[in-house]
Amino acid sequence: MRDEPLVVIPTYNEVENIELIVGAVRRHGFAVLVVDDASPDGTGDAADRLAAADPDKVAVLHRSTKDGLGPAYVAGFDWGMARGATVLCEMDADFSHDPDALPDLIGAVESGADLAIGSRYVTKGGVDNWPLHRRALSRFGNRYAGFMLGTSIKDMTAGFRAFSAAAVEALEPDSCNAAGYGFQVEMAWRASLAGLAVTEVPIIFRDRERGESKMNTRIALEAMLLVTKWGLSRLIGRLPWTPHADRSPTSR
């Protein structure tokens, strides 16, 4: 898995999806790291079987506790960086993110972007099979985050992304404050603060068909409260994180 892109897939109780999603990613030729948070439904064991069958391209990182999406991605990024991954992708296990969009995301980074976001809110992007109230809430949340944090990124909450290895190092994800879905907002904001080259690649987001969603009201409120806190900090000039010039991808 050295010197190639790596798709990081965090899992918790995704036994219905794991074999299908890993197979779909592998059909595009990309290496996969499953980061499993001690799923009681056997997801980790299923992932181990996939890795045993394809040891050069599939690996599993077992974590002992379920402590949030952010820490799971941090662990996956650390694993990939230690093994020389050139591009690190974030992707859900439930097919809400279409694996067929991976070549476009990874290709955008390989063509010069520091961060490529699979965006629902750019031309040709969108959401399928969501009720109107959920669409409205998502749009409001993204516009609120963009306004409060002073960024032009249209899909701050998107979880389908590709980072260059240099961008991951510069953004210091292990120091992020958010553990839940606010991690996505925080990383996008850090990229904006650091002046990184961010591109939004249109995707169609589809709700899961198998298994249960991990999103709940508490997670959504955590993200909203953090955005408000960060926005107020920005307005008074006390940013919770500032980029290090010597670690910027453009300084290499």
Reduced to 3 states (helix: H, G, I; strand: E, B; else coil), residue 116 is: strand
How far is it, in rounded angstroms, from Cα 189 to Cα 148? 10
Amino acid of residue 8: V
pLDDT at 224 over 90: no
Cβ-contact 153, 200 below 8 angstroms? yes
Any idea which of 91-95, 172-176, 191-195, 216-220 has the lowest mean pLDDT? 216-220
Q: What is the pLDDT of residues 50-90, one digit of tens each?
A: 999 999 999 999 999 998 899 999 999 999 999 999 999 99
**What value does the mean pLDDT take over residues 193-197?**
97
Cβ-contact 199, 108 below 8 angstroms? yes
Structure token pair of residue 192: 């904006």
Q: What is the mean pLDDT of the chain?
A: 93
Q: How confident is the model at residue 210 (pLDDT cuts 50, 70, 90)?
A: confident
Q: What is the pLDDT of residues 12-38, one digit of tens each?
A: 999 999 999 999 999 999 999 999 999
Q: Tell me what pLDDT residue 186 has.
A: 96
How far is it, in rounded angstroms, from Cα 50 to Cα 209? 22
Portion of the chain with pLDDT greater than 90, in percent? 80
Domains and CATH numbers, the chain: 6-251 (3.90.550.10)
Q: Tell me what pLDDT residue 251 has.
A: 44
Cβ-contact 205, 92 below 8 angstroms? no
Q: Tell me what pLDDT residue 246 has.
A: 80
**What value does the mean pLDDT take over residues 218-243?**
89
DSSP result, 36-80: E---TTSHHHHHHHHHHHSTTTEEEEE-SS---HHHHHHHHHHHH
Instruction: List, in order, residues 6 or more apart from 223 with CB less than 8 Å away.
Output: 141, 157, 178, 180, 181, 182, 185
Amino acid of residue 142: N
pLDDT at 111 over 90: yes
